[in-house]
A = this chain, B = another copy of it.
Amino acid sequence: TKIDSLPLTPSEYQRYGRQMILPGFGGLPAQLILKRSRVLVVGAGGLGCPAVQYLALGGVGHITVVDHDVVERSNLARQCLHTEKRIGMSKAESIRVAVEALNPHVTLAPITQQFTASNALPLVSSHDLVLDCTDNPLTRYLINDAAVLCGKAVVSGAAQGLEGQLVVLHRELYDINGAGSSGRGPCYRCLFPVAPRPQDVTDCSEGGVLGTITGLVGTLQANETIKLLLEGLHRSADGNGEGSPSPPTPTMLLASPMSVASSTLFRSIKLRPRRTDCRVCGDETALTAKGLRRISSLEEEDYISFCGLATL
């Protein structure tokens, strides 16, 4: 068919040419995978802005951004897709305006509602993966649980003060022979089965944050997303050394780029594997043995009590 013979427009070929020729990227097949991908970004703030910026530039075809906040001046020292003129506009809508100017070949769908137990499943299930760019533990557990229930990975970023953290949750693992999935890595609940108490949680409005830190983590979230979207292609390629990923040990990246000690600027730490008795991604037998109830409906879960917010 005509569409198959020219799967990108000439304008798209011009735009993406420099990355399509890149050894290790994957050429036209990789670009087409990105174009057909649907990515959900929860949070349009310090992390969401740079993440969406580089996803859109790279040609990820459909990006849905969920955020119910509006742009405030205090956001503007780090949230790079919002502008002075768009103060007062919904953040999701402001990002849509920015992306329209950056790359007319991608669709940015703004959702100006809060991400809740009610809309989480339909939102997550209609996308290939989720970027957690939020700023509070409750939403982080909610995104995680929805993603596990839908079988999607979460590219989770966090930034506070002068430090950042990046981890891919519930990611498919592959054995070294490339014979197929050998299960999933840990989810957020595997790593943190008990939520931190509210008094232990500082957010950016209390503790402060620097724009280059959110910029760094958000950009790395976009990078990790592109890596995950192209993973299947690279795994099947006979490859040049870049092309055949070994089974990833679950790791978290810690970034302290303002540190003066070069040894601690970036550090990868080894994480525990999936918890067989995890309430959302665990095994039936292990849960039954411990008398634990598996999470099967987000709306029946009391996230407010779980996060200790009931009495606040």
Contact = CB atoms under 8 A, between A and B. Distances in A.
Given A219-B216, A248-B262, A211 B58 contact: yes
Contacts of A85: 101
B22 A162 contact: yes
Contact of A208 (B19, B101, B205, B263): B19
A38 B312 CA distance: 47
Contacts of A204: 18
A311 interface: no
Contacts of A248: 260, 262
Interface in A233-262: 242, 245-246, 248-249, 251, 253, 257-262
A16 interface: yes
A249 B266 contact: no
A266 B205 CA distance: 30
Interface of A: 11, 14-25, 50, 53-54, 57-59, 72-74, 76-78, 80, 83-85, 101-104, 161-162, 204-205, 207-213, 215-216, 219-220, 222-224, 226-227, 242, 245-246, 248-249, 251, 253, 257-263, 265-266, 268
Contacts of A226: 210, 212, 258
30 contacts: A16-B77, A18-B205, A18-B208, A19-B77, A19-B211, A22-B161, A22-B162, A22-B207, A22-B210, A23-B161, A24-B258, A53-B80, A57-B211, A58-B210, A58-B212, A76-B103, A80-B80, A83-B101, A84-B101, A84-B104, A216-B219, A220-B257, A226-B258, A227-B258, A242-B258, A242-B259, A245-B260, A248-B262, A251-B262, A265-B268
